[in-house]
């Protein structure tokens, strides 16, 4: 059991059931729950041919190791995600797909990172990249807020963000940073090419060198009285402009 990954909560387990049910080795549910959500979940697990074990709440608490589990815990094989940028790009080149990446500079709040990962998964992002020195890791809060996306979207932490960005440019990935002082807006971006959206933390924004390394800087139109959006909301706005253009 020690070698297995613990997935807790409906969202995390359902995400794994949908894309890799065979990786789930044990699935436990709260025996006392009989509500519609639980029954729907059990039906979904059984349809995926995953056996369900009803157990006590105390047993689930022990398995979840402090993570909020909502009455659902799975032990699964840890999935192999890409561990570096070249691995991601090599795989996309083999498939003939343009890259869509999200670079986060200075995002240290686990709730923000979790929300960014959830949005990244929904928008089809191939990897999220962050610096080791100014970023939060994949802790239990991030995993819970990400609702299963932390087990699907590669989260690559790099020692030198500017150097990694230059490596991306060498591989023809267009880097677009968000900057409220930029003259153009995000709707002027050609998001159909291989590209990365670069966002900084709310308030401070990107570091100077990060911004200078971008190929293009654009603003998100702000028509009200607030000056900026939360980074997770801003990432959703930008990523779904890529989705819109690529589906057109």
According to the annotation, is 42 in a ligand binding site? no
Instruction: Please report the domains of the chain, with CATH numbers, ordered by start residue.
Output: 5-76 (3.30.1330.30), 85-247 (3.40.1280.10)
**Average pLDDT of the chain, as a whole number:** 90
Q: How confident is the model at residue 180 (pLDDT cuts 50, 70, 90)?
A: confident
Query: What was the pLDDT predicted at 1?
Result: 43
Give strand pairing partners of 61. Answer: none
Q: Quick check: 82 and 111 in contact, CB under 8 A?
A: no
pLDDT of residue 3: 57
Please check whether residue 207 is in contact with residue 105, taking contact to mean a CB–CB distance below 8 angstroms. Answer: yes
Q: Average of pLDDT values for 36-41? A: 94
CA distance 211 to 239: 18
SS3 category, 85: helix
State the pTM of this model. 0.78
Which of 22, 244, 211, 190 lies closest to 106 in space, CA to CA? 211
Question: Using CA atoms, how far apart are residues 217 and 65, in angstroms rounded to an integer?
Answer: 43
Cβ neighbour number for residue 93 with a 10 Å cutoff: 13
Check the annotation: does 200 bind a ligand. Answer: yes
Q: What is the mean pLDDT of residues 204-215?
A: 91
Residue 66 annotated in ligand binding? no
């Amino acid at each position: 059991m020690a070698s297995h990954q613990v997935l807790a909560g409906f969202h995390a387990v359902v995400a794994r059931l949908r894309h890799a049910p065979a990786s789930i080795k044990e699935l436990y549910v709260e025996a006392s729950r009989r509500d519609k959500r639980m029954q729907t979940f059990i039906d979904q697990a059984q349809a995926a041919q995953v056996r369900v074990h009803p157990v006590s709440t105390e047993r689930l608490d022990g398995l979840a190791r402090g993570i909020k589990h909502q009455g659902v815990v799975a032990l699964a094989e840890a999935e192999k995600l890409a561990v570096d940028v070249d691995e991601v790009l090599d795989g996309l080149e083999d498939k003939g797909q343009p890259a869509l990446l999200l670079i986060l500079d200075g995002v240290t709040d686990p709730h923000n990172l979790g929300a960014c990962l959830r949005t990244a998964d929904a928008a089809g992002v191939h990897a999220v990249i962050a610096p080791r020195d100014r970023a939060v890791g994949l802790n239990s809060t991030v995993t819970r807020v990400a609702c299963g996306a932390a087990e699907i979207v590669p989260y690559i932490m790099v020692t030198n963000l500017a150097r990694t960005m230059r490596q991306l440019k060498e591989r023809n990935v267009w880097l677009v940073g968000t900057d409220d002082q930029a003259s153009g807006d995000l709707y002027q971006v050609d998001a159909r090419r291989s590209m990365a959206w670069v966002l900084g933390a709310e308030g401070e924004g990107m570091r100077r060198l990060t911004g200078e390394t971008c190929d293009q800087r654009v603003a998100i139109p702000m028509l009200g009285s607030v000056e900026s959006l939360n980074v997770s909301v801003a990432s959703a706005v930008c990523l779904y402009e890529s989705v819109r253009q690529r589906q057109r």
